[in-house]
Structure 1
Amino acid sequence: MNAPSERETGVGASVRRKEDYRFLTGSGKYTDDVQIPGQTYAYFLRSPYAHAAIRSINTDAAKSAPGVIAVLTGEDIAADKVGGVPCGWLITDVNGQPMKEPAHPALAQGKVRYVGDQVAIVIASTYLQAKDAAELIEVDYEALPAVADAREALKPGAPVLHDVAPDNKCYTWSLGDKAAVDAAFAGAHHVTRLELTNNRLVPNAMEPRAALAQYSRADDSYTLYVANQNPHVERLLLTAFVLGLPEHKMRVIAPDVGGGFGSKIFLYAEDVVLAWASKKINRPVKWTAERSESFLTDAHGRDHATVAEMAVDQNGQFLAMRVHTVANLGAYLSTFATSVPTILYATLLAGQYKTPQIYAEVDGVFTNTTPVDAYRGAGRPEAAYVVERLVSAVAREMKIDDAELRRRNFITEFPYQTPVALQYDTGDFNACLDGAMDMADVAGFPVRREEARSRGKLRGIGFSTYIEACGLAPSNIAGMLGARAGLYEVGEVRVHPTGSVTVFTGSHSHGQGHETTFAQIVSARLGIPFEQVDIVHGDTGRVPFGMGTYGSRSLAVGGSAIVKALDKIEAKGKQIAAHLLEASASDIEFKDGKFSIAGTDRNVPFAQVALAAYVPHNYPLDKLEPGLNETAFYDPTNFTYPAGAHICEVEVDPETGAVEVVAMTAVDDFGKVINPMIVEGQVHGGLAQGIGQALLENCVYDRESAQLLSGSYMDYAMPRAEDLPSFRVGNRVTPCTHNPLGAKGCGEAGAIGSPPAVINAVIDALSPLGVTHLDMPASPERVWKAIQAAQQPMQAASQPA
């Protein structure tokens, strides 16, 4: 492939990703590829019970097995005073009290609380030796009653997981003016009420979780290779809150990472145990999860049960919304678990609409299931699902066209202060809806519906107009809301003597294409060839302290930090150029890679300025230090607010209940777009995940035993190419007003807007049969049962008296 020309690599160009060559040729280096002399292999013995007391653990036979180096349990880690796994976000309940925060030991101590809980670690010369030896460990369990459903866990007499939370409730949290909402409902012309379940999901990144820990006696330090989305936060939690180490004594390296979707943001118990064990045996210890372990132990997503109500006037104007959600947190608090169904969820319940009053109440509940935390979108998909399902239900009950009802209630003036804390800076929701309707040919839908009916199929159309909050910030507000870390980002731009550049970013790429997008920004700004820009990330030993990648923050926050560093590079470059050109710095302009005296043709190229900075023979040493290397931290003043309109068309076979997505249209506003091709790929991936949740994916536990029933691909249905149509995507641009790039974020949008659009389409298809509600996933069995249940009353009514 020929290298792209400079014209083809600037901001707004669809540059092919420079990192893809190594991935496609097998040259990537993932955690499991790292080999250290003397390394050992770990296998975790996990609880087969969802809830049980540990009476005793006998490891004698395992310790004597071939190749075994050590067998360690909760007693061992407790004896070394290793702390438990911390939660990174403190929520304050409705009474002003802190949430219940039970201990989360890295290896179970006295009790196991979900299937997959870590009971012991076996370390051996090979992985198979460790796995075989684990079968020799004898654990005497006393099985205890278990509960998997959060609503059941709240009932009197439910099994209690933690002594500090005897009612299994972590918190009850609220947002909004309850009295004002109740008053609006009392005077409403019409009220729509829905009971919704947002189904639990398993992340399923291509690369399972993996970690390799190495301890050095020489300087009492650790190196941890780990598949993680934010290595600095991993290091902070692991050193300061768990191991009690100075941060500089641990280097965390996240090499190439094969996908994350949120599931690799967190500090996991395995990482703690491996780091501790590497010192215990004074040898490197590697662990790579089997796919079955990933199903059991990767933090799950979603799992909300919600009652939502909308009050409207006679014209369909929204008056107030009332929402109560029971959020399943799982057995322990994962790193950001508490923030997802609260700060990241309820604050988005305004959607794109000027609803005057909103009140949300959330119960966070412990159950005997895998911990639940952020998964692509993290609270925003759950909010959009509630809002958009409710809006379409109002439209159906009020007999108002879906698009028309939305237009009547759209926010059209900005900035706009919502009743749930957030202030939207900019947007054009009508433009996105108009674009989506044109692209989807909504006007031609009645003809397509009739044609489908002639084939015995039911065709439906569904709308979703979502908004999300990205680039979580600012840090001081986040701190007030319970965050236990800052939410800024860092960028370091290191210009080399020859004019090439290396950028060190606190953001992390695990598939998003940062090495290309960030290079485009730098290339365009400095006027240097795209190929002369390298991006470094994922290594706390090389990169200044940053916050990693999640919440579609990389470009809006990480990219803005790089731009601020480039501002400093340009400012210093102007002073150097002024000296070289014997002019005033205020007269120097920088454009297309050249520093020029304004109004003249006298100039020096960027590379000459860079060389002068490092070979300062002709240099203003009395004013400037040598070198051209600048670092900047960027802490946003507000969230960014991507938004869009998604329209889905489905066909349902009423004989089998099978649903086919025949068309999916997404028109989004991501602000300024750096690389349209990468953005389109992100949208496609998000749409696939959203359709997967809506129609296929469902993590299921047995109600009595809390055993995971969908623990493999035999039982958990992932979307395949044949399940997806050829997507139609478009974009509209209203630049973000408060970051230098005007960017908003795009990585989660597809997974936010598509689930309600799909389910609204399914219900529209089934509405002639009397079906008015269906929970995700709309599997053939569920759809068929809904059809049968709706037809029975109709058939009974048609019988003669």
Structure 2
Amino acid sequence: MPKDGGIGASTVRREDVRFLTGTGQYCDDMNMFGQTSAVFARSTVANGVIKSIDTSAAEAMPGVLAVFTGEDFVEVGGNPAGWLINSRDGEPMKEPKRPVLAHGKVRHVGDAYAAVIAETIEQAKDAVEAIEADIEELPALVNMKDALAADHYVHDEIGTNQCFDWGWIEDNRAATDAAIKGAHHVTTLELVNNRLVPNAMEPRCSMAQYNRANDEYVLHTTSQNPHLTRLLISAFVLGIPENKLTVIAPDVGGGFGSKIYHYGEEALVLAAAKKIGRPVKWTADRTEAFLTDAHGRDHVTKIELAMDKDGNFLAFRTETMANVGAYLSNFSTATPTFLHGTLMAGNYTVPNVYVNVKAVFTNTAPVDAYRGAGRPEATFSLERVIDKAAREIGMDPIELRRKNFIKPDQYPFASAAGLEYDSGNYDALMDQMEKVADVAGFEARRKASEKKGKLRGFGVNAYIEACGIAPSNLVGVLGSRVGLYDAATVRVNATGNLSVMVGAHSHGQGHETAFPQVVAEMLGIDPQSIDIVHGDTSKIPFGMGTYGSRSLAVCGSAVVRATEKIINKAKKIAAHMLEASDGDIELKDGVFSVAGTDKSVTFGEVALKAYIPHEFPLEDIEPGLEETAFYDPANFTYPSGAYCCEVEVDPETGKVTVESMTAVDDFGNVINPMIVTGQVHGGLGQGIGQALLENTTYDENGQLLSASYMDYVMPRADDLPFYTVDHSQGNACTHNPLGVKGCGEAGAIGSPPTVVNAVIDALQSGGKSVTHIDMPMTPHRVWSAMQNA
């Protein structure tokens, strides 16, 4: 067994040492000789025609080295969406160009139309103020219904504000309509999944350098996916040969999805570095982050649930408008479709599901994947309408869910929304949740709250999500323009320590701790002898980065496959050293031995021998000990969970206090329980923030009203309870070698409907006939709902 624990050990995260001691290396920490600063001129109107841009005064100011406008990039490509989605009638989606800098029109507040490169950031800021832009303001399209009905467009060249009108599964449509028409009871709910700003701790930053001697570029940037960034810049945006561009993502202070994508600022600093022959650096301030980082969620949905007289689910039908903002970001078309619609059967045996999604362009910041990416939106719709249905038919909400759960003996289970779930036990999750949350004692706690003049509510939710986005052949059919495999290289050095190069990128997930646990378990060595290399495209094999809880399920599986190759070759070397057949060699606790004998050599001895092969039969064994593996999953993984919470509502003010939150999850096999618990904690905080506090608000002119922490409310410690987190009910994934499912997004998926369900329960316990309140359930919204009831 590895000295410091392998798989299943709560090993302390090794990367935290540098983070907690202030020695992390973030992009903005880096400075280069001759470095210059970039600052962007950004639109103050949401929609407008660029009549002229006069940069002459800016160009003449002290320290200014170059000024760029959109006209400088007219001839280059645009940043494409990663998924091509077809409408129900087969027509491809509308895909207007997303330029490096706006030209012709600006399309949202914060849209960059010019950039200044200067010796210092202060000089660049002064020069940006001197740029004179004549922009004729046009009416802004902010509301999605208004945008669909309008006779003017965000992108005039496509002649519509509808990106696509998607149906899933179109063959299910007639049967779903018939089931709803003939049902004993139909519950209908209209709801909003509110727009969120990701608010990573580290704002985006990009720094580029160009070497004229060999025509090579290096881009340091805050990216969750450096290889994808390199691919997009090379193939679509600037046309830089891929072998001439290195993208490096060093320590990254959070992403939550908003740093998966390529942004125009990355291309701009590369072009500027070549033009002036010096490094160029740009770091966003927090206002820029609010205005230009891809936002999340922003769905308006009508959902219907049809049931028979016994409460058996017959059909779910949804109609959703999904805001994609002013431009298509890289995953913006996948999020409301295949990451959302395919989960609309939930954990249930419902036979009919039909999902319609209309994606809409508006004069707002682009919307893309944010923690959970489509799955929180699906879960929220399902679990809210189920709760409402339970009240309408007079059935306990837990009992209604149990009645319709998929049972363990039904796996593999083909859902009505087109996925095949491989394992799970939703009743066991609910059993454990009821136990650890002491659901039986709730009524006593409710009475205690009532004595204090508070309304206490209990909310429950059962979720399922699809993680480890895959396989490539399936997502290719569904519209993905990239493969969704990952890769790893395991290099055993002559002295016995290891470097493991991974395509995944760590920005808070604990890869530098968890990946060594996997390799150490397989080899029987000390995890501390294993180093993880990530984020640098010049060092790592081509991988697809980190998002969608895919790191261990996909990249971790590549690590396993590469390590298996190492073991197989090492056994051949050990067999030669021990004068035995490699079929007789066993590896245990870091020692190779001949089965049934006391003859053995250590892993370190084999590693050294691999690089001093004086006596090898070289026709059978190549020198060295290094292997690479690519892993393309056979299916998604399907984490699931049962959550509950208790809230107190102050009837005088509408203030909601979350008193407890219980999360019981099935993550399959767990590599490091402590890291998993931390990931769930973080997601719960974000989910509670969405449910109660966070909201991105534009006025009718497209001005962002919530563009700072004065107006956008993030959850703080006293807004959150102590959590009860349990992941003891794991059912191993059946199709990846680690049996893992993914844990990074569960908390953000499971908590919003749980909190909303609890608040509705509290209000109804107080005699208020409130059936729904849209998120965020601020004191004003809750109080108003009580008064209107």
TM-score of the two chains, using structure 1 as the length reference: 0.97
Map 1:238-637 onto structure 2 (within 5 A).
238-412=233-407, 413-637=410-634
Matching residue's letter, 1:787: M
Matches within 5 A, 1:649-728: 649-702=646-699, 704-728=700-724
Any idea what SS the aligned residue of 1:769 has? coil
| Residue 106 of structure 1 pairs with residue 103 of structure 2 | no
Aligned-pair distance for 1:601? 2.0
Question: What whole-Å deviation, never above 9, does each CA across 1:558-612 have from its counterpart, x for those lacking one?
Answer: 1100000001001001111111111111111111111111122221111111111
Select between 37-46 and 277-286 the one with higher mean Cα deviation.
Answer: 277-286
1:6 CA drift (Å): 3.9
1:152 pairs with 136, 140, 146, which one?
A: 146
Choose the corresponding residue for 2:155, options 146, 151, 162: 162
SS at match of 1:667: strand
Distance 2:782 2:112 in 1: 38
Q: Offset of 1:618 from its aligned partner?
A: 3.0
CA distance in 1, matches of 2:311, 2:722: 34
Instruction: After the TM superposition, list the runs of 4 or more consecutive aligned residues in structure 1 that deviate by more than 4 angstroms.
Output: none
Taking only aligned residues, the RMSD between alpha carbons, in angstroms, comes to: 0.9
Provide the residue aligned with 1:143 in structure 2. 137
One-letter amino acid of the structure 1 residue matched with residue 355 of structure 2: A
Q: Higher mean Cα deviation, 760-769 or 293-302?
A: 760-769
> In the alignment, what sits opposite 1:759?
756
Q: Which of the numbers 110, 121, 145 marks the counterpart of 1:116?
A: 110
Q: Is the 8 A contact 1:612 1:619 kept in 2?
A: no
What is the rounded CA distance, in whole Å, between the counterparts of 1:297 and 1:766 in structure 2? Answer: 38
Separation in 1 of the partners of 2:658 and 2:421?
Answer: 32
- Asked if structure 1 preserves the Cα contact closer than 8 Å seen for 2:166 and 2:337, the reply is yes
| Aligned residue type for 2:558 | A
Deviation (angstroms), 1:7: 4.3
Deviation at 1:245, TM superposition (A): 2.2
Counterpart of 2:189 (choices 194, 212, 228) is 194
1:77 Cα deviation after fit = 2.1
Q: Which residue in 1 is equivalent to 2:37?
A: 41
In the TM superposition, what whole-angstrom CA distance separates every residue of 1:297-344 from its partner, at most 9, and x where no partner exists?
Answer: 000000000000000011110000110000000000001100000010
- Partner of residue 735, structure 1: 732
**CA deviation map 1:470-510 (0-9, x unaligned):** 00111011111111111000010000011100000000000
Aligned residue type for 1:771: V
State whether residues 576 and 620 of structure 1, in contact with CA within 8 Å, keep that contact through their aligned partners in structure 2.
no
Q: Which residue of 2 aligns with 1:10?
A: 6
CA distance in 1, matches of 2:296, 2:144: 14
Q: Partner letter of residue 125 of structure 1?
A: E
- Do 1:709 and 1:715's aligned partners in 2 also have CA atoms closer than 8 Å? yes
Are positions 1:173 and 2:170 aligned together? no
Which residue number in structure 1 is paired with residue 16 of structure 2?
20
What corresponds to 1:793 in structure 2? none
Q: Is the contact made by 2:315 and 2:352 (CA closer than 8 Å) also made in structure 1?
A: yes
- State the identity as a percent: 62
Residues in 1 aligned to 2:136 and 2:206: alpha-carbon distance in whole angstroms: 32
SS, match of residue 158 in structure 2: coil
Once the two structures are TM-superposed, the CA of residue 8 in structure 1 deviates from its matched residue by 3.8
Aligned: 1:87 with 2:66? no
Q: Does the CA-based 8 Å contact 1:171-1:363 persist in structure 2? A: yes
- In 2, are the aligned partners of 1:209 and 1:227 still within 8 Å (CA)? yes
Shift, 1:215, TM fit: 1.0
Alpha-carbon shift at residue 512 of structure 1 (Å): 0.6
**How far 1:156 moved relative to its partner?**
4.0
Q: Aligned partners of 1:151 and 1:423: how far apart in 2?
A: 35
Distance 2:120 2:668 in 1: 50
Which amino acid letter does the alignment assign opposite residue 172 of structure 1? D
The separation in 2 between residues aligned to 1:216 and 1:325, in whole angstroms, is 49
User: How far off its partner does 1:266 sit?
Assistant: 0.2
Mapped partners of 2:310, 2:448: distance in 1? 33
In 2, Cα distance between the equivalents of 1:766 and 1:8?
50
- In structure 2, what is the Cα distance between the partners aligned to 1:112 and 1:379? 28
2:623 maps to a residue whose letter is P
Task: Check whether the contact 2:3–2:525 (CA below 8 A) recurs between aligned residues.
Answer: no
- Out of 301-310 and 390-399, give the one that drifted further: 390-399
For 2:261 and 2:101, how far apart are their aligned partners in 1? 17
Aligned counterparts of 2:3 and 2:432: Cα–Cα separation in 1: 29
Alignment partners' CA distance in 1, 2:247 and 2:474? 28
Contact 2:4 2:527 in 1 (8 A): no
Q: Tell me, what secondary structure is at the counterpart of 2:232?
A: helix
Deviations along 1:262-309, one digit per CA (max 9) or x if unpaired, are 000000011111111111111111000000000000000000000000
Q: CA deviation at 1:760?
A: 0.4
SS in structure 1 at match of 2:773: coil
Cα distance in 2 for residues equivalent to 1:419 and 1:149: 32
1:72 aligns with 2:71: no
Judge conservation of contact 2:4–2:526 (CA < 8 Å) in 1: no
Q: 132-141 vs 685-694, which deviates more?
A: 132-141
Q: Is the 8 A contact 1:612 1:618 kept in 2?
A: no
Structure-2 separation of matches of 1:186 and 1:362: 21
User: What amino acid is the match of 1:296?
Assistant: L
Counterpart AA for 1:43: V
Distance 1:463 1:517 in 2: 31
Contact 2:2–2:527, Cα closer than 8 Å, also in 1 = yes
Distance, in Å, in 2 between the alignment partners of 1:718 and 1:635 is 37
Per the TM alignment, residue 166 of structure 1 is displaced from its structure 2 partner at its CA by 2.4
Task: Give 2:783's aligned amino acid.
Answer: W
**1:203-242, Cα deviation, whole Å (9 max, x unpaired):** 0000000000111101111100000001000000001111
Structure 2 alignment gaps of length 5 or more = none
Residue-pair matches, total? 782
Partners of 1:559 and 1:205 lie apart in 2 by: 25
* Maintained 8 Å contact 1:100/1:164: no
The one-letter code matched in structure 1 to 2:674 is M
Instruction: Check conservation: 1:506, 1:543, Cα contact below 8 A.
Output: yes
d(CA) in 2 for partners of 1:733 and 1:239? 42
8 Å contact kept, 1:433–1:645: yes
1:798 corresponds in structure 2 to: none
What displacement does 1:420 show?
A: 1.1
1:26 aligned counterpart, secondary structure: coil
1:747 CA displacement: 0.3
